[in-house]
Amino acid sequence: MDKTALITGGGRGIGAATAKYLAARGYGICINYYQNEQAAQTLVAQIMEQFGVPCIAIGADVSEEAQVLRLFAEMDELLGPVTHLVNNVGVLFKQMKVSEMDAERINKTLTTNVTSYFLCSREAIKRMQPGGAIVNVSSVASRTGSAGEYVDYAASKGAVDTFTRGLSLELAPQESGSIVCGRDLSIQISMRMAASPAGLIASAARSPCCAAASQKKSHRP
Q: Which residues are marked as active site? A: 153
Name, in order, each residue with C-beta under 8 angstroms of 90's C-beta and a sequence gap of 6 or more.
9, 112, 113, 137, 153, 156
Helix (H) or strand (E) holding 157: helix 151-171
Give the strands of the sheet with 28-33, arranged side by side. 55-59, 28-33, 4-7, 84-87, 133-136
Backbone angles phi, psi at 30, to 5 degrees: -115, 115
Query: Helix 13-23 and helix 37-51: axis angle, to 10°?
Result: 20
Q: What is the dihedral of CA 9, 11, 15, 21, to 10 degrees?
A: 150
Residue 193: which of 9, 2, 4 has the closest Cα?
9
